[in-house]
Amino acid sequence: KAGVTQTPRYLIKTRGQQVTLSCSPISGHRSVSWYQQTPGQGLQFLFEYFSETQRNKGNFPGRFSGRQFSNSRSEMNVSTLELGDSALYLCASSRTGGFPTNEKLFFGSGTQLSVL
Amino acid sequence: ELKVEQNPLFLSMQEGKNYTIYCNYSTTSDRLYWYRQDPGKSLESLFVLLSNGAVKQEGRLMASLDTKARLSTLHITAAVHDLSATYFCAVVPGSGTYKYIFGTGTRLKVLA
C-alpha cells in the first residue's frame, strides 16, 4: 500500500514569507505527527493530530501551526519565516499515535525547506 | 524535560568488525524505538522494545533495553557497507503522550 506522502519535496522561500506543507498518511492511519530535522538540533517534535484534534504540541513558537482534515491528511504552516526555519520537515503516521504500545511511526520522505 | 543521548555521534568502522551504539534517556519511558536514516532519505523503523530485558535481532543488528538503567544498545555484528546510515533511538515519555523524543543520532560509516 502507499506510504506517507509529503508535498512538496523541496521549497525555497525568503524571510517573512509563509509556507504550507502537506502530508497524506497511510490509508487507515488516523494519527499524523510532524517533526523538524536540522543538523544542529536533530529531530524535534512539532505536533501530533488524531481525528482532527491536536493532542500534543512541541516547544515551537506560535508561527508554527497545523491542522488535520477529516480524511486524516494534514498540513503544517509556518508564518513569517526566519532563516532558522530552514530544515527537513518530516511527517509520520500511525493508526493511533502510540497505542497499542508496539505501534511504530511510518515516516514520509520529508519536505526540505530553505529560507533565504 | 526528557533527554535522549546517543553515543558515539560518529562511528567509522571496518567491515567485519563489531560495535555498539548506546542510547541513554533521562526519565521513565514505557517503550523505545530504533530507526535508521539513509542520506537524503526518510526514517525507517528497525526495532520496538517494550519491556526491561527486551532483545530484538534482525540480521546483523541486535537491540536491547534496560529500563532500570534507562539504557538501550544497538549492537552491530560483522558490519557490512550496507549498514552505513544514521541510527536514531526514540522514546515516548510516559503513557498517554503521543510525541517521540529522538536521540541525537549516530552516524555510522562502514569502510570496505
pLDDT score, position B40: 84
Most A CBs within 10 Å, among B47, B98, B100, B106, to test the A interface? B98
Q: Give yes or no for residue B22 having a pLDDT over 80.
A: yes
pLDDT greater than 70 at residue B70 = yes
Counting every residue written for chain A, the total comes to 116
CA A116 to chain B, closest CA, distance in angstroms equals 21
What are the pLDDT digits (tens) for A22-34? 999 999 999 999 9
Alpha carbon distance B66, B51 (integer Å) = 8
Arithmetic mean of pLDDT, B35-40: 92
* CB-closest option in A31, A55, A101 to B31: A101
- Across chain A, mean pLDDT equals 93
Of A56, A103, A110, which has the smallest distance from its Cβ to B99's Cβ?
Answer: A56
Report residue B7: phi and psi, to 5°: -150, 145
pLDDT in the model for residue B95: 64
**B65/chain A closest Cα distance in angstroms:** 14
C-alpha cell belonging to residue A101: 504500545
Instruction: Report angle CA B66, A37, B109 to the nearest 5 degrees.
Output: 65
Assigned C-alpha cell, A94: 500511525
- For residue B40, give the C-alpha cell: 537524503
Nearest partner of B7 among B15, B20, B17, judged by Cα: B20
pLDDT for residue A107: 95
For residues B39-68, one letter each, b for 16 or more C-beta atoms within 10 angstroms of the residue's C-beta and e for the rest, the string is: eeebbeebbbbeeeebebeeeebbbbbebe
Q: Cell 506543507 appears where? A: A21
Lookup result for grid cell 519565516: A81
- B8 preceded by a cis bond (ω within 30 of 0): yes
DSSP per residue over A52-94, as a string?
A: TEEEEE-S--TTEEEEE-TTS-EEEEE-S--GGG-EEEEEEEE
Predicted pLDDT of residue A100? 60
**What's the pLDDT at B96?**
65
Please tell me if residue A5 touches chain B, with a CB cutoff of 8 Å.
Answer: no
* Whether B99 and A43 lie within 8 Å, measured CB to CB: no
The C-alpha atoms of residue B92 and residue B32 are separated, in whole angstroms, by: 7
Give the Cα separation of A19 and A13 in Å (integer).
Answer: 8
CB B61 within 8 A of CB B74: yes
Q: Using a CB–CB cutoff of 8 Å, tell me whether A90 touches chain B.
A: yes
Summarize pLDDT for B43-58 with one digit per residue, the tens.
Answer: 999 999 988 888 999 9
Round to whole Å and give the CA distance between B111 and B81.
6
Q: Where is average pLDDT lowest: A66-75, B26-35, B36-45?
A: B26-35
The pLDDT of residue B1 is above 80: no
The predicted-structure confidence for A75-110, as pLDDT tens digits, reads as follows: 999 999 999 999 999 999 998 876 666 678 899 999
Do residue B99 and residue A58 have CB atoms under 8 angstroms apart? yes
* pLDDT higher than 90, residue A35: yes
A89 vs B: CB within 8 A: no
